Structure 1
C-alpha cells in the first residue's frame, strides 16, 4: 500500500465499505468526502491502477456498468495499513 497515492487508498476504503459499487457510487462517496467534484479522468485511471496492482477486481454488471470489489490482497493491505496507523494513533 506504500506505493499508492492517498486518492488510491481512499478508493480502496470506499470500495471496501460498499457492496460491489459501480464507478458513479464510488465517485459520489468521494465527492462527499472531498467536498468537490471528482472528474472521470481522475477516477477511472486510478481504479484501473488498483485493478492492475491486484488490489481490486472489476466486474461487469451490464454493457455500460462495471462494479468493483476488493481482492483478498486488497483486504489484507487495508488491514495492514490500519494496524500500521494504530501504532501511531492509539497511544
Structure 2
C-alpha cells in the first residue's frame, strides 16, 4: 500500500466497507469525505489502478455498470496498514 496515493487508499477503504459498490456509489461515498467534487477523470483511472494492483476485483452488473469488490490482497494491505498506523496512533 506504500505506493498508493492517499486518494487511492481512501477508495480502497470505501470499497472494503461496501457491498459491491458501482463506480457511482464509490464516487458518492468518497464525496461525503472530500470537500471537492470528484470527476470521472480522477475516479476511474484510480479505480483501475487498484484493480491492476489486484487490491480490488471488478465485475459487471450490466452492460453499463461495473461493481468493485475488495480482494483478499486488498484486505491484507488494509490490515497491514492499520497495524503500521497503530504503532503511531495508539502509542
Q: Which TM-score tier does this pair reach, normalised by the shorter chain? A: over 0.9
Return 5+ residue gaps in structure 1 as ranges: none
Deviation track 1:17-66 (CA, whole Å, cap 9, x = no partner) reads 01000001100111110022000000000000110011100000000000
Q: Give the total of aligned pairs.
A: 91
Provide the aligned C-alpha RMSD in A.
Answer: 0.5
> How far apart, CA to CA, are the structure 2 residues paired with 1:55 and 1:31?
21
Higher helix share: 1
Per the normalisation by structure 2, the TM-score is 0.98
Per the normalisation by structure 1, the TM-score is 0.98
> Which structure 2 residues correspond to residues 1-91 of structure 1 after superposition, within 5 A?
1-91=1-91
Deviating 4+ runs (over 6 angstroms): none
